[in-house]
Structure 1
C-alpha cells in the first residue's frame, strides 16, 4: 500500500499580522502591547490588561492599579481602545486594612455627560471607629461628589480623574468634615454600558507584557 505523502504544513503565525494597542486618549494613547491577529476587525472587542505604572512610568505604587482597555476600532496597524475598568490589586487592598479602623464603601452606577454608564466602587478607611450614622453620612458625601463629577464630565475625562484618584481626593476633602480619614479611593470601576453604536463585541483578555 502506497504511503500518503504529507502535505506542506502551513505556518499559522506567518498568516497573522500585528496590531499595536494604544491606551485610550485619557491616558495619552500610550502604546500598551502588540497583539497578533488573522483579521484586524476581529480584534475589536478584545480586552488588554496592564497597570497604571506601565502607562505613566512614574510612581512604583501605580503597579497596584490594574487597568483594562477594550479595543473599539482599528486603523491600519493600530488598535484604539476605551477604558473598560480598573481596580486595586488584592495585595494593595489588603494592605489598607488596619485594626481599630472602620471601613465604609459605596457601589453605584453613574452616567457621564456623554451617556456612558459606569459602576464605581468607592472605599474609605477611618483613623478610628465609625458608628452607623457617620458611615451613612460618609456614603452620602461619596455619592454626591462622584455623581456631580460624572454628570459634568465626558467618559474619557471621568475615567482619567477616576483612575488618577482626582475624584477620590475631592471626596476626601468633603468627607473629612464628617470624620478623620486615613484613605479614600475609587478602588474599582466597570464600564456597564456605552452609548448606542459604540459597543464593541466582548472577546478574550490579553495581558500586556511587563
Structure 2
C-alpha cells in the first residue's frame, strides 16, 4: 500500500512540471536549441545548456564547436539564454596537431567595451618547429590583436567574431609574418564575470 502511495506522489510531482523551449541569444539568431523541464520557472535561471555550433547555425561542418548558454529569463513557456562559453572538441584539436611542429597556446582575459570579461584560449600551429624568440613574438602579437579587438567590441560582436572564425583568420594573417603558420584556432572562451563598468 505504501509503495502505491509513493508512486502516486511521484506521478503528481511529475505532472506539476512543465516543458519550456530554450532559445539562444539574438546574436545567434534566437534559434530553439531544445527543451527543459521544471516545476518552477525560477529554478531554471542559471541552468546551463550545451549544444554545438552546427545545431545553432544549421551547418554540420561546425559540429566540433561546443557552445554553452545559460538561462537568464523565462517568459511563458520560453526560456531565453546568454552565451557563457565555447570549446572545440578534443579529437578535433588532436587532429590538428602534427609532429615536429610547434603548438603555441595563449590564454588571455579580455575586457570588452561593455565591461564583460571573457577568458579565451588561442592555439597557433606552425608548419615547422619555432624557436623561443619566435614563440614569444607570436604570443605577444596574439595578445595585442585580441586586447585591441575586445576594447573596441561589445561582447556580442566579439563572440560572433570568435565562433565564426573571423578573429582567428585576422590573427593568422598577422602571425604568419613572424613564422610560417598552418593554423590558428580560438579553441575556448569562457565568460568570467561582469566587471564593473
CA distance in 2, matches of 1:144, 1:66: 26
Aligned residue number for residue 172 of structure 1: 172
**Offset at residue 118 of structure 1 (A):** 0.6
RMSD of aligned alpha carbons:
1.7
CA distance in 2, matches of 1:153, 1:43: 30
**Offset at residue 109 of structure 1 (A):** 0.5
CA distance in 2, matches of 1:4, 1:192: 48
2:25 matched to 1:9?
Answer: no
User: Which ranges of structure 2 fall in alignment gaps of 5 or more residues?
Assistant: none
2:152 matched to 1:152?
Answer: yes
**Offset at residue 176 of structure 1 (A):** 1.2
Structure with the bigger RCO (C-alpha within 8 Å, sep 6+) is 1
**Count of paired positions:** 193
In proportion to residue count, which structure has more helix? 2
Aligned to 1:100, the other structure's residue is in SS state coil
* Alpha carbons 1:21, 1:78 under 8 Å: kept: yes
Change beyond 3 A, Cα 1:5–1:181: closer
**Offset at residue 142 of structure 1 (A):** 0.6
User: Which ranges of structure 1 fall in alignment gaps of 5 or more residues?
Assistant: 197-210
Aligned residue number for residue 41 of structure 1: 42
Deviation digits for residues 116-148 of structure 1 (CA, Å, limit 9, x no counterpart): 111010010001110001111101111011111
Change beyond 3 A, Cα 1:4–1:123: closer
Superposition pairs of residues 1-210 of structure 1, within 5 angstroms? 7=5, 9-10=8-9, 11=11, 12-58=13-59, 60-195=60-195
* Alpha carbons 1:25, 1:156 under 8 Å: kept: no
